[in-house]
Structure formats: structure tokens, C-alpha cells
Chain A
Amino acid sequence: MNERDDERLTDYLEGRLDAEARALLEARLGGDAALARRLRLLRALRTSLSAAVPPAPAGLKADLRRLARARDAEAARPWWADLREALSGRSWAYGAGAAFAAAGVALVLRAHLPERPSVSPPPPTEIVEARSDAGAQTLQDLWSEDDGEDHDHL
């Protein structure tokens, strides 16, 4: 899985793939659990972003992508330097900041979303999406780490 996959998944989520490309991707999703998980994460990110941030200025997404690429290329430079630069003196800076914050929240929530079983059929084109409520208890919160022992004592 690479950055190109991310772009393809994003296009898929936004309905920008033609029928053939979409069918190819769905076939891959059926056999690639990591790719399916990535799709789930991106979907949660999109939902979280759309729920938490006011409408972004035109071109924000492209700017964010450029930032991400620059960060990958400039590995020695700390990521927060890019973020600081991105947030300084731009009209859309606060929106971008909120977007990054929401993405962070979504990444944390991702850990609480149930994973799809690894043997799963190809998911159809999504229409009804998952929505995670920030801060709300999840099913996973009902479980806790355990010693795994088999005895009568709780």
C-alpha cells in the first residue's frame, strides 16, 4: 500500500472513479485486508472532518496533500515544522489546524472502531457510512485486558 493507493481510495470515497477503476479497486479490497482497513480509516477521517470543520477554502485539500508529500520527502525535518509553517499567517490556517486536530481525533477513534474480519467479501460502494461520535463510549470500551487464566475468581 502506498500514497497512490491513498489517492485512489480517496477518489473512490468521493465517487470520482469510473466504473472499471471502481470494480478493480473493489476486487482488490476483497483480498487485501490492509487496504480495506485503510479505506475504513479514510472514511472515518472524512466523516470526522466534515462533522467538525466548517467548509474548507478551495484548494485546502491540495495544499494538505502537498504538505504531506513535502514531509515525506524531507524526513529529517520534524513534521511540526511543516504544520507550524502551514498554520502561520494564512487565511485558512485555522481551518487547517482544525482539520489536523479532527484527523488526530479520528485516528484515536480508529483504534476503537471494530475491525472488519480479515476474510470478508468485497465491500460494495458505500452509501451509508459509519459515523463515530467523539468521546462517546464504544463497544470496545466494555472490554479490558485480562490475565487469560481459567478460574472461578473474577
Chain B
Amino acid sequence: MTEKIMIISSLLAALALAAPASAARLARPDADALLLRALSAPATGYRAVERVQVFEPGRKPRALRLTRVASADGGVRLEIPAGRAKKASPLVYARRAGRASLLWPARSRYWDGPLQEEAPERSLRRLRAFYEVSVSTGGQVAKRKTWRADLRDARGRLRRSLWTDRASGILLKSESYRLDGALERRRRVSRLEAAAPEAAEFAPSAPAGVRATEWTAPEFPDPKSRRPESSAKDRLPRWVPDRFLLVDLRLSADGSRIHADYSDGASNYALTEEDAARPFAPKGARVVARDGAASLTLVEDAGRLSMAAVFGSRRYLVSGDLQEDEMARVLESVPGAP
């Protein structure tokens, strides 16, 4: 009898000791710590298979499948199948240490050049400037338990949700939403495995006979252009979201205005640079930040978002399929930005 009591007492003691540990495991992490981990390079390299889906009103969803390789020193490599033919060489996008390259074998094109990088702490500050964050349990993604972070704008609208691996902190899934709440884009990892990628994977070289092109050269340059785009390239943003390409670039006759279109094939955005003295009073505009001669204005019109920044005598306007923090980062990377 005494022996049974001792056994039961031991079990109860063990349960009592285990309970706090279990509660600690389930405790929701701090929102900023969670985001910072997701924005930072992973602790160890990995290789992931993922799908990006785009949802447009009145149109069937479209998807892009890709392989992502990431290294502990911040290297990222995306391989996107170039078509249904299995032997077709994939489109390869890679960035590491402030340099990005894109190799597109199907078009015999290769882009390479500097890309503005930033510390994850700065990305976090920008996110927190636009969104309130709440954390909850997120179910399983790629057979891993996740935390879910919901990002809401100043009006309380859900703009983005992020699912991060509880163990590694890696971002496994994200969804972005339109201003009306409809799903706009989803990225989801379906398979994730540890890897030790070589540094060369993050710096693909141009194939023989393919000339390297700067990021600031448009995808469809006009060889007969009377005014080469070189006069505009030094005025373009130094940061472009992953996979996006400059597809069209136009200048006004006097060179004072630039209009640049960027696309990843499914999402598009445009940037205009012009004299700040030009009339600018769109509906739904509100100034969200002001610092001396610099100001940031958010414009919501007909369910679409755009953002304008005035830096000294120049105004930059970005509009299209980007979220608030992405638009702000594009504008912050303009050469004239403070």
C-alpha cells in the first residue's frame, strides 16, 4: 500500500513539474520577436518547395511553383520552372550580400547588379509603422506546427497573415489581402528540408554569349530609342521585390518625368517620378509621415492603394499590387530619398 502511494505521489509530482513546461511551450511568442525571426536569415540553410497563388476578381486563380534555397548568411535562390517541358532550364533569381542576379535561359537574358539590402530590424520597424500585429496558433504547414501573425492596418483591416515554423522561425506561409478583405496572394511551403547550399548557388553567372544587363534596364528596351534609358536609370529605386522585373520605362520629352512598370507576370506595380510642383490632390489621400522636406502620403481610391513620397523637389508615386510596407520600401530606396 505504501508503495502504491509512493508511486502515485511520484506521478503527481512529475505531472506538476511537467505542467509549467508544457504551458511554456504553448505560450504565444512576442509579436515583434516572431516577426524579427521570420525577417532574419535562418539559423541553418534549407531547401523548400513552394507555391505562390494569385487571386484576381473575376478570374481563375493562377499559380507559380518554385524551389527556394536559403543560407544562414542571408543568401536566397529561387528556381522557377520555365515551362511544362521537363528539360527546360529554370529561371533563376538569386541574391546575397547586396547583389542580385536573374538568369532567364528561355530568353537568353541575364540581369545582375547591386540591390539595396537592409537589416531585419529596419524591416520590422517599417512593418510596425503600418500594422498592428496579433499572434495565434496557426495549425500545420508542411507538416510543421506554426504560429500565425495577423497584420492589420490603422483601420483594423486584415492586410496580411504570416505562418512561421514554431521550431525554426522560418516563414512557411503568407497571405495578403485586398482593401476589401478578399484574398490577393498566397505563398505556401509544401516541403522543407535542411540543406547546406554552396555560395556559388547565390551568384549564378551569365552563360557564354549572354550579356549581363543592369537591373535598371527595362525588359523590353527599344533599340531605336531616341533617348536611351541611361538618363533615367540613376533615378530608379534601388530595391525591387523578389522576382519583379522592370518591364517598361518611359521618359517625358524634357526628361523631367519617369514612368516605370514592374511585373512578375501576375502582379504589377508602377513608379512615377515627377516635379513636386505638379498638381497632386487625389481622392482618399492622407499624409502618414512628414520629416522636413520629405513626406509620405497614402492614397486609397476605388479599392486601390498607392503611395506618394516627396523628397525635396521631386515626387515619387508607386501604385499597384504591393502592400503598404513594400511600397514604402520601394520609395525609401529611391536615390533622392533621405
Task: Identify the A interface with B (CB < 8 A).
Answer: 47, 114-133, 136-148, 150, 152-154
Query: In the bound complex, do residue B319 and residue A146 qualify as a contact, i.e. CB atoms below 8 Å apart?
Result: no
Query: In the bound complex, do residue B63 and residue A116 qualify as a contact, i.e. CB atoms below 8 Å apart?
Result: no
The 6 closest A-B pairs by CB, nearest first: A139-B265, A146-B63, A117-B320, A148-B61, A119-B304, A114-B263
| Shortest distance between the CB of A35 and any CB in chain B (Å) | 15
Query: In the bound complex, do residue B265 and residue A119 qualify as a contact, i.e. CB atoms below 8 Å apart?
Result: no
CA separation between A130 and B229, bound complex, in Å?
12
**Of B61, B222, B250, B251, which is within 8 A of A146 by CB?**
B61
| Shortest distance between the CB of B317 and any CB in chain A (Å) | 5
CA separation between A138 and B91, bound complex, in Å?
11
Closest-by-CB residue of A relative to B304 is A119
User: B41-63: which have CB < 8 Å to A?
Assistant: 49, 51, 53-55, 60-63
CA separation between A47 and B106, bound complex, in Å?
22
Given A128-B227, A154-B51, A142–B82 Cβ distance below 8 Å?
Answer: yes
* Chain A residues with CB under 8 A of B80: 142
* Chain B residues with CB under 8 A of A121: 259, 270, 272, 274, 306, 317, 319
User: B250-291: which have CB < 8 Å to A?
Assistant: 250-253, 257-259, 261, 263-266, 268-270, 272, 274
Query: In the bound complex, do residue B266 and residue A154 qualify as a contact, i.e. CB atoms below 8 Å apart?
Result: no
Given A117-B319, A131-B220, A138-B265, A124–B225 Cβ distance below 8 Å?
Answer: no
The residue among A129, A132, A147, A152 with the most chain B CB atoms within 10 A of its own CB is: A152
| Shortest distance between the CB of A17 and any CB in chain B (Å) | 12
**Of A132, A146, A148, A153, which is within 8 A of B190 by CB?**
A153
CA separation between A137 and B49, bound complex, in Å?
23
Determine chain B's interface SS by DSSP, over half rule: strand
Closest-by-CB residue of B relative to A138 is B265
CA separation between A125 and B252, bound complex, in Å?
5
Interface size on B, residues (CB 8 A): 69
* Chain A residues with CB under 8 A of B132: none
Query: In the bound complex, do residue B226 and residue A127 qualify as a contact, i.e. CB atoms below 8 Å apart?
Result: yes
CA separation between A116 and B148, bound complex, in Å?
33
| Shortest distance between the CB of A55 and any CB in chain B (Å) | 14
Closest-by-CB residue of B relative to A147 is B61
| Shortest distance between the CB of B153 and any CB in chain A (Å) | 17
Query: In the bound complex, do residue A143 and residue B319 qualify as a contact, i.e. CB atoms below 8 Å apart?
Result: no
B242-253 CB mask vs A (1 if < 8 Å, else 0) is 000101111111
* Chain B residues with CB under 8 A of A129: 222, 225, 250
Does any Cβ of A come within 8 Å of B73's Cβ?
no
CA separation between A140 and B59, bound complex, in Å?
14
Determine chain A's interface SS by DSSP, over half rule: loop
**Of A123, A124, A144, which is within 8 A of B63 by CB?**
A144
Given A137-B83, A142-B80, A150-B188, A117–B269 Cβ distance below 8 Å?
Answer: yes
Query: In the bound complex, do residue A154 and residue B252 qualify as a contact, i.e. CB atoms below 8 Å apart?
Result: no
Query: In the bound complex, do residue A119 and residue B319 qualify as a contact, i.e. CB atoms below 8 Å apart?
Result: yes
**Of A114, A133, A146, A150, which is within 8 A of B261 by CB?**
A114
| Shortest distance between the CB of A21 and any CB in chain B (Å) | 15
* Chain B residues with CB under 8 A of A153: 190
Beyond A120-B306, A146-B62, 10 additional contacts (C-beta under 8 Å) are: A119-B302, A123-B259, A124-B250, A124-B257, A132-B220, A136-B106, A143-B63, A150-B188, A152-B188, A154-B51
Query: In the bound complex, do residue A47 and residue B222 qualify as a contact, i.e. CB atoms below 8 Å apart?
Result: yes
CA separation between A137 and B143, bound complex, in Å?
35
User: B144-195: which have CB < 8 Å to A?
Assistant: 186, 188, 190-191
User: B205-255: which have CB < 8 Å to A?
Assistant: 218-223, 225-229, 232, 245, 247-253
Does any Cβ of A come within 8 Å of B31's Cβ?
no
CA separation between A154 and B232, bound complex, in Å?
41
Does any Cβ of A come within 8 Å of B121's Cβ?
no
Query: In the bound complex, do residue A139 and residue B245 qualify as a contact, i.e. CB atoms below 8 Å apart?
Result: yes
* Chain A residues with CB under 8 A of B82: 137, 142
Given A117-B320, A142-B64, A130–B265 Cβ distance below 8 Å?
Answer: no
* Chain A residues with CB under 8 A of B53: 146, 148
Does any Cβ of A come within 8 Å of B86's Cβ?
no
Given A128-B250, A139-B245, A145-B60, A119–B306 Cβ distance below 8 Å?
Answer: yes
| Shortest distance between the CB of B66 and any CB in chain A (Å) | 9
Does any Cβ of A come within 8 Å of B126's Cβ?
no
CA separation between A17 and B320, bound complex, in Å?
29
Query: In the bound complex, do residue A128 and residue B221 qualify as a contact, i.e. CB atoms below 8 Å apart?
Result: yes
CA separation between A138 and B319, bound complex, in Å?
22
